[in-house]
Structure 1
Amino acid sequence: MFNIKVNPRKAKQNQDLQSLSKEELIDRVQQLESHVIQLRNLLKPKSVPDKHEMKQKAFDHKKYAKRHVLLQVAYVGWDYAGFVVQEHTEKTIEAEVFKALEKTRLLESRETSNYHRCGRTDKGVSSFGQAISIDLRSNLSEGKGVFIPDGHQAKVGNTVEIDYVGILNKVLPPEIRMIAWAPINQSLSARFDCRQRTYHYYFPKANLNIERMRVASQSLIGEHDFRNLCKMDVGNGVIKFDRRIMDIQIEAIDDDKTNSYSMIRLKLIGQAFLWHQVRCIVAILFLIGQGKEETTIIQELLDVERNPRKPQYGMASEIPLNLFTCTYSDDDCQWIYDAESLRYVISGYQTLWAENSIKATMIKEMLNSLEGLLDDKIESQLKGLVYGVEPKTYLPLMERQKCESLEERIHVYAKRQRIEVIETDANCP
């Protein structure tokens, strides 16, 4: 018996374009367009620094110790291309965070900052509890997480630490805010030491049977192979899809639980999540809530022995998704909140809330007037929350065309030289 080990690697630069599929050609064109944008940015004339910038002395980080900390980062990600820095755009949360860190002289460089992120949220996804671990400049000479690198000297006698949260919030875009910070041991990683991650997904009740969704969702709890409830990222070496869901709750946020406009929150708690796992789960629960699928469909999708190939279906939208909390051991992490910084964050987010709430209220008033002209009830609030064209006649999931199995996908990627497959004896360590 053999295990399969997958090592992702870049395709050959001189790969024959005629051998590529339509999807691969599109991907190649997009890559080339990204490189063009990069080159244009490089060729842009650099602005002439003003007199103040020319006179400004270079900051000497060697006069300070460093401190390994966790930062809780909140962001409304609707207008961003995801959290992680990308080559083709600067419009990412991570790019803005590092701009702020560099502007405030809190770190020398990303490469030397011992940086880890907890979650890798995609384009349009938001977060209240994203966490990053990083080495920052410190005013102290001792304390949890404080260390003095070779060639550095600490500020002796200081007892007050830098106001990391307050300083960063003054230079970050209004959609991105630091909520808290915590001193941590140098070995702690925001990604690998996270105990659990909690996602929230918000949606209107519309015509959904929430109780059916609750019943079906209980099948997700526990450890399962979620290959049929995610997007398989084989091209990046992901071939194991076992994940553990600790809890799932579907509750009404509004007092009026019968109104089709009332908002519902799905709360999903797990140790780690696969690419698009939450959005795939929500899409299936929507089908169950609409009565298009039985509550047992989730059990069928989790049975990868009987159903090794994922049926084709559209994912739920990214806009309602929020990485709400990243949880760490109390021994590892004690968050520090500052009242003044919290007031600043609340005030800013109240402005964002007011702008969006006004828009929602205006549209709701228009809908009230329109609906008063009809005798029948229209409940189409979910239409924009699931990708894909809605067919006139619904085709049950298990009767639909299936995607490639994991084994087939590994074979295809290996044949296209996107990955390298190494067969190893299962008995060998």
Structure 2
Amino acid sequence: MFNIKVNPRKAKQNQDLTTLTKEELIERVQQLEAHVIQLRNLLKPKSVSDKHEIKQKAFDHKKYAKRHVLLQVAYVGWDYAGFVVQEHTEKTIEAELFKALEKTRLLEGRETSNYHRCGRTDKGVSSFGQGISLDLRSNLSEGKGVFIPEGHQAKVGNTDEIDYVGILNKVLPPEIRVIAWAPVSQSLSARFDCRQRTYHYYFPKANLNLEKMKIASQFLIGEHDFRNLCKMDVGNGVIKFDRRITDVQIEVIDDDKTDSYSMIRLKLIGQAFLWHQVRCIIAILFLVGQGKEETTIIQELLDVERNPRKPQYGMASEIPLNLFTCSYSDDDCQWIYDADSLQYVISGYQTLWTENSVKTTMLKEMLNSLEKLAGGNRIENQLKGLVYGIESKTYLPLMERQKCESLEERIHVYAKRQRIEVIETDDNCT
């Protein structure tokens, strides 16, 4: 018996470009062009202000101890290219966080900060409870998570810790805010020690049958192979698609539960999720709610023995998706909230709410007037912008559609393109 072990290749320099598709070549060229721009910016002559900054006395981090902490980060990600730092753009949540951390002298650099993130949210996705763990400068000489690196000196006698939340929020963009912090043990990782992740997805009721969606969603609960309900990230070495979902809830969050404009929240709870898993699940549930698929379609897609190849379908939009909570053991993490900081965050987010609520109210009044002019004919097309792909005039059931490559076929393709390395290992080897 043999297992297949997949190792993503770290270096793309040796990749055979003749094996790439046109789209992959275009993407590669765009990445290289963006990298050239970055290098040009780095090589630009220093301006007068830059030279002045260089002459300023460098901050001496060795006069302080460090503390391993968790930060709860909230962000409205609609205008950002995702959470994780990227080569071709600086418009990411993580890039802004590290700019703020370095500007406030809370850390020397990312490389030495013992940094971990809980979730890799994609472009346009938001979060209320993203968790990150890292080592920050500390005013204390002892306490949970406090340590004194070799060559450092601690501030002896101090009893007040640095106001991490307040300091960071003063320099972060208005869409990004730190909600709370927690001192944690040096070994804790925001990613690997997260006990539970909860996603929220918001959408209008439109013409959806919510009861059917609720029935279908219950088939998701438990441990399943979700390869047909995600985007298989084989290129990065992901070949295991078993995940456990512990709860799914669908509920109306507006007072009027019958109006097609009423907003619905789907809550999905699990320990870990695959790439685009939530958005694929939502897209299928929309089809069930619209009466285009039976509630049992979820069961069929989870049966990878009978259906090893994913049918082609468009994902749901990223805009309504929110990584709402990342949960940790109470023994590991006790969040510290500050009343003044919370008021500051609330005030800022109220401004964002006002901007968007005014637009929503204006559009709703315009729609009300248009519907009266249309003679009361009900048009319930609110979901149109929430699912990607071209809608055909005649609906083709999912299981009759063209299928994507199977996992084994995809592994073979990526190996042929030298994107991954396939190593056959004997089960009996130790």
CA distance in 2, matches of 1:231, 1:37: 31
- With over 3 angstroms needed to count, the CA separation of the structure-2 counterparts of 1:94 and 1:16, relative to structure 1, is closer
User: How far has the Cα of 1:28 moved from its partner?
Assistant: 2.0
Q: Deviations over 1:74-117 (max 9, x none)?
A: 00000000000011110000000000000000001111100000
User: How far has the Cα of 1:38 moved from its partner?
Assistant: 2.0
Whether the 8 Å CA contact 2:16–2:417 is kept in 1: the answer is no
CA distance in 2, matches of 1:224, 1:351: 42
Unpaired runs of 5+ residues, structure 1, are none
CA distance in 1, matches of 2:319, 2:82: 11
- With over 3 angstroms needed to count, the CA separation of the structure-2 counterparts of 1:107 and 1:44, relative to structure 1, is same
Q: CA RMSD in A?
A: 1.4
SS in 2 for 1:323: strand
Whether the 8 Å CA contact 2:15–2:417 is kept in 1: the answer is no
TM-score (norm 1): 0.97
Whether the 8 Å CA contact 1:11–1:417 is kept in 2: the answer is no
CA distance in 2, matches of 1:301, 1:149: 52
CA distance in 2, matches of 1:45, 1:228: 51
Partner of 1:192: 192
CA distance in 2, matches of 1:90, 1:46: 20
Whether the 8 Å CA contact 2:201–2:320 is kept in 1: the answer is yes
SS in 1 for 2:215: helix
CA distance in 2, matches of 1:101, 1:308: 46
User: How far has the Cα of 1:52 moved from its partner?
Assistant: 6.7
User: How far has the Cα of 1:267 moved from its partner?
Assistant: 0.3
CA distance in 1, matches of 2:31, 2:410: 22
CA distance in 1, matches of 2:155, 2:12: 51
- With over 3 angstroms needed to count, the CA separation of the structure-2 counterparts of 1:158 and 1:240, relative to structure 1, is same
CA distance in 2, matches of 1:15, 1:240: 25
User: How far has the Cα of 1:425 moved from its partner?
Assistant: 1.4
Q: Deviations over 1:279-322 (max 9, x none)?
A: 00000000000000000000000000000000000000000000
Whether the 8 Å CA contact 1:125–1:319 is kept in 2: the answer is yes
Partner of 2:212: 212
- With over 3 angstroms needed to count, the CA separation of the structure-2 counterparts of 1:324 and 1:16, relative to structure 1, is closer
SS in 2 for 1:372: helix
Whether the 8 Å CA contact 1:118–1:130 is kept in 2: the answer is yes
TM-score (norm 2): 0.97
Structure 1 residues 27-426: aligned runs within 5 Å: 27-49=27-49, 53=53, 56-373=56-373, 376-426=377-427
Q: Deviations over 1:257-289 (max 9, x none)?
A: 110000000000000000000000000000000
Q: Deviations over 1:312-333 (max 9, x none)?
A: 0000000000000000000000
CA distance in 2, matches of 1:265, 1:403: 30
SS in 2 for 1:408: helix
Report sequence identity in percent: 90
- With over 3 angstroms needed to count, the CA separation of the structure-2 counterparts of 1:15 and 1:138, relative to structure 1, is closer
CA distance in 1, matches of 2:201, 2:12: 40
- With over 3 angstroms needed to count, the CA separation of the structure-2 counterparts of 1:16 and 1:135, relative to structure 1, is closer
User: How far has the Cα of 1:15 moved from its partner?
Assistant: 4.9
Whether the 8 Å CA contact 2:117–2:191 is kept in 1: the answer is yes
- With over 3 angstroms needed to count, the CA separation of the structure-2 counterparts of 1:51 and 1:36, relative to structure 1, is closer
User: How far has the Cα of 1:46 moved from its partner?
Assistant: 3.3
Bigger shift: residues 6-15 or 195-204: 6-15
- With over 3 angstroms needed to count, the CA separation of the structure-2 counterparts of 1:153 and 1:23, relative to structure 1, is same
Whether the 8 Å CA contact 2:180–2:336 is kept in 1: the answer is yes
User: How far has the Cα of 1:380 moved from its partner?
Assistant: 0.7
User: How far has the Cα of 1:57 moved from its partner?
Assistant: 1.6
CA distance in 2, matches of 1:362, 1:37: 41
Whether the 8 Å CA contact 2:15–2:419 is kept in 1: the answer is no
SS in 2 for 1:49: helix
Q: Deviations over 1:105-154 (max 9, x none)?
A: 00011111000000000000000000000000000000000000000110
Whether the 8 Å CA contact 2:130–2:323 is kept in 1: the answer is yes
CA distance in 2, matches of 1:50, 1:416: 44
SS in 2 for 1:177: strand
Whether the 8 Å CA contact 1:11–1:416 is kept in 2: the answer is no
Unpaired runs of 5+ residues, structure 2, are none
Q: Deviations over 1:353-386 (max 9, x none)?
A: 000000111111111111111xx11111100100
- With over 3 angstroms needed to count, the CA separation of the structure-2 counterparts of 1:144 and 1:17, relative to structure 1, is closer
CA distance in 1, matches of 2:44, 2:38: 10
- With over 3 angstroms needed to count, the CA separation of the structure-2 counterparts of 1:52 and 1:342, relative to structure 1, is farther
Q: Deviations over 1:169-227 (max 9, x none)?
A: 00000000000000000000000000000000000001100110000000000000000
